[in-house]
Amino acid sequence: MVRVSTRDEILRVAAEQFTRTGYKGTSLQEIAAAVGCSKATLLYHFATKDAILHALVAPAVQALTELMTYLDGLDNADVQAAAIDGFVDLVLRFRREVALIYDVIPQFLHEPAFDTVRPMTDRLCAIFAGDSPDPARFIAAEVVLGGIAGVVIDDQRDAAELRPALTGVARRALFPPPPDKD
């Protein structure tokens, strides 16, 4: 039998509790009790509840950083489509983490540990908007970005089914066909 480390068990239980009752609705004492350890043991591994959240979402933040690095290497002709595909793949891969972040977005974006996330999401929106100076295009990109993340939080369909639907909707919303000339 494989023994799970206390740290890993704290993360597993915290993710379940945060998903079930929300970040704000979950206490460190509740996490410790569900793990079967003392609060002191939990605090040995994680100094704060924020530290647990940071550990849970760090892989998703790292994947976002990698996506942005990849996008920065593309020319403008390919970057919008790659951004849509990359973001949809990222949120499908990190559904649980996206749900956790959604629960605490205002607080999360002001945490020093994640001060790189806001500029990356702003840049991703700009790419989605085709780097247009039109504020309406940027707002449309924000709506699409948030909508994609919002769908994967509650939708239990397989990623293979969701991916083409999400990328198709994003493309139609961001690249509408030109109006017919009559």
Average model confidence (pLDDT) across the chain: 89
Cα(70)–Cα(83) distance, integer angstroms: 9
Residue ranges per domain, the chain? 6-45, 54-174
Domains 6-45 and 54-174 share a fold: no
Q: What is the pLDDT of residues 107-153, one digit of tens each?
A: 776 777 778 888 898 899 999 999 889 999 999 999 999 899 888 88
User: 164, 171, 162: which is closest to 141 by C-alpha?
Assistant: 171
102-123 residues labelled b (16+ CB within 10 A) or e (exposed): ebbeeebeeeeebeebeebbee
Taking a C-beta distance cutoff of 8 angstroms, is the pair 140, 50 a contact?
A: no
* pLDDT digits 0-9 by tens, 71-96: 999 987 789 999 999 999 999 999 98
CATH topology of domain 54-174: Tetracycline Repressor; domain 2 (1.10.357)
pTM of the predicted model as reported, rounded to 2 decimal places: 0.83
Right CATH number for 6-45 from 3.40.50.620, 3.30.499.10, 1.10.10.60, 1.10.3720.10? Answer: 1.10.10.60
